[in-house]
Structure 1
Amino acid sequence: MTEFLIYSKQTFIENAFVEATLHIKDGKIQNVNNGYQKLSNLPFFDYGNLVVIPGIIDAHVHINEPGREDWEGFYTATKAAAMGGVTTLIEMPLNASPVTTTVEAFKLKQNAATNKLHVNCGFYGGTIPSNTNDIEGLIKEGVFGIKGFLTHSGIDEFPNITQKDLEAIAPILKKYDVPLLLHCELSDEDVPEVENPKSYIEYLHSRPQHWETNAIELAIAIQKKFDIKVHIVHLSASKGIELINKAKKETDKLTVETCPQYLFFNAEAIPDASPIFKCAPPIREKANNDKLWSFLQSDGFNFLASDHSPAPPARKQLESGDFFKAWGGISGLQFTLPVLYTECKKRGVKLEKLIPLLTENPAKFLGLENQKGLLKKGFDADITVLDKNEKFKLTETIIEHKHKATPYLNENLNGLVKHVFVNGIQVVNNSKMHKEQQGKLLFNTLNNPF
């Protein structure tokens, strides 16, 4: 079925819910018709009061294949994505092995993804101290940005970069107008000594806000000096907001994201000996996270992303409860939409505010704004259908990630993804996988002058 119609009384068009019928043909939105519009002989999906939105674009995902498929892998990750209404994701250069810091490694990753993609997938390249000469090649091959860590990444194959390293690659990034994505923590010794490694508060204090703000100052300085696009991933420190606001008044090339875990959980409610909640930077106190919500409501965040970073239960130290030995990463790719919508409802934030942060805005960041992120004529038919009134308990039986361990387990959430279309093909039907392997590899070709 390559041509059909989708109708809903709540279709998200131009930042509002309207009654409309989408005409889909050959993987594209052929037309957007006002109201209820049947066309002779065409299959007609009548979704009534269900919410029809553009497919979610998750611009920050760790899939870990090749080399660490026991952590996740393309097949399970993209199945989880599809079930969560994510139709496009961009995969990080770690924690695959080899890490994506050379063209050769990038091609290995593409091969690893072949015949495993249930949603569309693009990639970032990585910057480490030894690969300055590889950056241009990665850009020419079509990565969507270059990612670096300002502190230890957690794996030795992906060491952190310094200001000197950033200054070496900045002219290349400027030439191709490709964003630099930075994990903004600058570690120092100005932290308390650890007495109880099972204490969440001790883990929180081991990665203080000033680690983030010092790194953000460096990121802003690099952006200003070289006039390049710089993106701050997973902001958790509210003390960084003032720095970011000030810089954004001077440039539109500084962008920032945060993640569901920083908006949904609070440090005060995290039990000791529960490293399933460990991520870096850490989930902070409620007062801090309330400020992140205020920043979101004032349009401070450019977009939201999952930072899905799973690991086997042993690596998460679920038995020992040791926060300092555990892998730092949250498994949540499948549940970004209901998690955020649930918290939005609690805070009186409208769904209309949330949707662009998951669709239109990441599309703009990735240079895909002319083909994805909107329900608009000529755009890719990547579409998510949500029952915003249906509540569900997140149990292991519905988790499609390779590992069931997630801090969201047993949470009661609002908003169930019912149907998902990827490239005009229905991949999820009534919250069950319907058709597999309909995703495509995506490459950034817009900024290549050759």
Structure 2
Amino acid sequence: MTFDLLIKNGLVILTSGEVKTDVAVKDGKIVAIGSRLGEAKEEIDATGLIVSPGMVDAHVHITDPGGGYRDLWEGYVTGTKACAKGGVTSFMEMPLNQVPATVDKESLEIKYDAGKGKLLSDVGSFGGLVPYNLEGGIQELDEGGVAAYKCFMATCGDRTIDGDFMNVDDYSLYEGMKQVAKTGKVLAIHAENAAITDKLGDIAYKNGETTLAAYVATRPVFTEVEPIRRAILFAKETGCRIHICHIACPEGVEEVVKAQADGVDVTCETCTHYLYFTTDELDAIGPVVKCSPPIRDKKAQDGLWEYVANGGLSFVTSDHSPCTPDLKDKENAFEAWGGISGVQNNVDVLFDEGVQKRDLPLTTFANIIATNPAKRFGLDEKGEIAIGKDADFVLIKPNAPYTLKAEDLEYRNKISPYIGRTIGAQVDTTILRGHTIYSQKNGVNDEAIGVFIKK
């Protein structure tokens, strides 16, 4: 057999461990792993490189369509170019901040239409759970092919925009969980106590607080832990499979671990920025690093890394949540948009901070960026270097420090808290279903070969 692609001489991360070997690809699938496999139309010499499964980023916001409100935020073209350059071969797209939000058949089809001919990476979709789609919207989204659902227990959305996303109240969460449970799919949850965090933020703002440190103080750890407990209780009652998004504190992970031991079908994630930044440096960086839940102190970060290394945190995501520069350029941190642009710097930062600085095993690295999120959200063809899986790879150059510049970013708006940081590893090549979508030699391949993954 003549293969389409042969990746040779790399250190390949398999589920059983890493091994120096070759990987052969035919018709977009991995068909052989081993030595002296034969001839191929294209060969990539991966000598000195780590060959990892392409990242499956389970938490990405693309704002396409913008509905006339957010047209200048992140679109599919720039968003998936950033994925390609960052080693992200697939991602799960959140049902917000596009307008209309993805909450029923009509809005899901609008989203699919918006992405036609624009995708450089593959995209699985979250459908929204909101108070206004409990009369059939959940079922329509299931039939339309969403891979999972998402809701907010924290306040979200702009009530002046028709069709924008909206957080759930307790009844909507309970009823929505019952409906999602019938689909068998997972409900991902932004777990923060809306009433308390909103009020604490309002008090601080009226008292003249302006700093990011003050903003962090208005969202204390217990305001994450309490809604996680509540969501777990509701999951027990309804039988809904749940996933807690972007946990910023080890106490939150502890609640998930205890629930798992009690038989609840619950998982959780953290984000690259929680593993990289700490509270004491936020004000020096500025509102570009503002997010919710907030970035916490070094003790919290160390606790999160422990759960990454030893289990408890299933995977790590970017929570790529971009906006226009004017929404970040605020003297008062409380007035700035809360979201971090990070999808392009998951793989390199996590490899450097985890594998190179903390001796994280390569198999654990592959699990947290690819294998575990693919399994959790039913992306069956993704997440592993194994025969029969999609030929999705990221080739990583270890011990290759570089300093990130704004012009390196593929985002529509060149905003990132990682700008100016020296990162100790580089994405050399990204391959989607056997096609090179990025290489350091040739840059991003503009051919839009990505597809929507419908479940």
**Kept after mapping to 2: 8 A contact 1:427/1:434:** yes
**Kept after mapping to 1: 8 A contact 2:210/2:331:** yes
> CA offset at residue 174 of structure 1?
1.6
Encode CA deviations 1:49-77: one digit per residue, 9 max, x unaligned. 21111111011100111012311000000
Residue 441 in 1 paired to residue 452 in 2? yes
**Kept after mapping to 1: 8 A contact 2:100/2:107:** yes
> CA offset at residue 322 of structure 1?
1.5
Give the 5 Å matches for 1:223-238: 223-238=235-250
| Residue in structure 2 matching 1:327, options 317, 328, 337 | 337
Residue 57 in 1 paired to residue 68 in 2? no
1:165 partner SS: helix
**Kept after mapping to 2: 8 A contact 1:56/1:384:** yes
> CA offset at residue 297 of structure 1?
1.5
> CA offset at residue 225 of structure 1?
0.7
Q: Which moved more, 1:53-62 or 1:421-430?
A: 421-430
Counterpart position of 2:45: 46
Cα distance in 1 between the residues matched to 2:9 and 2:265: 37
Cα distance in 2 between the residues matched to 1:342 and 1:412: 10
Give the 5 Å matches for 1:205-220: 205-220=217-232
Residue 135 in 1 paired to residue 142 in 2? no
| Residue in structure 1 matching 2:192, options 185, 194, 198 | 185
Give the 5 Å matches for 1:19-418: 19-33=20-34, 35=35, 37-40=36-39, 42-67=41-66, 68-133=70-135, 134-156=137-159, 157-189=164-196, 191=200, 193-194=203-204, 195-251=207-263, 253-271=265-283, 274-316=286-328, 318=329, 320-344=330-354, 345-369=356-380, 371-418=381-428
Cα distance in 2 between the residues matched to 1:8 and 1:304: 28
Cα distance in 2 between the residues matched to 1:328 and 1:434: 31
**Kept after mapping to 2: 8 A contact 1:191/1:208:** no
Aligned identity (percent) is: 33
Cα distance in 2 between the residues matched to 1:45 and 1:325: 48
Judged with a 3 Å threshold, the aligned counterparts in structure 2 of structure 1 residues 21 and 76 are, in CA distance, closer, same or farther, namely same
**Kept after mapping to 2: 8 A contact 1:74/1:117:** yes
Cα distance in 2 between the residues matched to 1:142 and 1:41: 35
> CA offset at residue 153 of structure 1?
1.4
Cα distance in 2 between the residues matched to 1:206 and 1:15: 44
What number of residue pairs does the alignment pair up?
439
Q: Which amino acid in the other structure matches residue 440 of structure 2?
A: N
Encode CA deviations 1:257-311: one digit per residue, 9 max, x unaligned. 0000111000011126811111000001111111111111221111111100000
1:172 partner SS: helix
2:130 partner SS: coil
Counterpart position of 1:429: 439
Considering fraction of residues, name the structure with more helix. 2
Encode CA deviations 1:378-423: one digit per residue, 9 max, x unaligned. 1111111111121111001210011111111110002111111111
Encode CA deviations 1:105-151: one digit per residue, 9 max, x unaligned. 11000000001000001211111111102111111111111111112
Cα distance in 2 between the residues matched to 1:410 and 1:54: 28
Q: Which moved more, 1:259-268 or 1:8-17?
A: 8-17
> CA offset at residue 237 of structure 1?
2.4
**Kept after mapping to 2: 8 A contact 1:182/1:230:** yes
Judged with a 3 Å threshold, the aligned counterparts in structure 2 of structure 1 residues 274 and 196 are, in CA distance, closer, same or farther, namely farther
Q: Which amino acid in the other structure matches residue 327 of structure 2?
A: R
**Kept after mapping to 2: 8 A contact 1:60/1:91:** yes
> CA offset at residue 349 of structure 1?
2.6
TM-score, normalization by structure 1: 0.94
Q: Which amino acid in the other structure matches residue 4 of structure 1?
A: L
Cα distance in 2 between the residues matched to 1:18 and 1:252: 36
> CA offset at residue 435 of structure 1?
4.7
**Kept after mapping to 2: 8 A contact 1:199/1:273:** no
> CA offset at residue 352 of structure 1?
3.2
Judged with a 3 Å threshold, the aligned counterparts in structure 2 of structure 1 residues 166 and 425 are, in CA distance, closer, same or farther, namely same
Judged with a 3 Å threshold, the aligned counterparts in structure 2 of structure 1 residues 273 and 377 are, in CA distance, closer, same or farther, namely closer
TM-score, normalization by structure 2: 0.93
Q: Which amino acid in the other structure matches residue 374 of structure 2?
A: A
Cα distance in 1 between the residues matched to 2:61 and 2:128: 13
Q: What residue ranges of structure 2 are gaps of 5+ in the alignment?
A: none
> CA offset at residue 80 of structure 1?
0.2
Cα distance in 2 between the residues matched to 1:288 and 1:427: 36
1:389 partner SS: coil
1:70 partner SS: coil
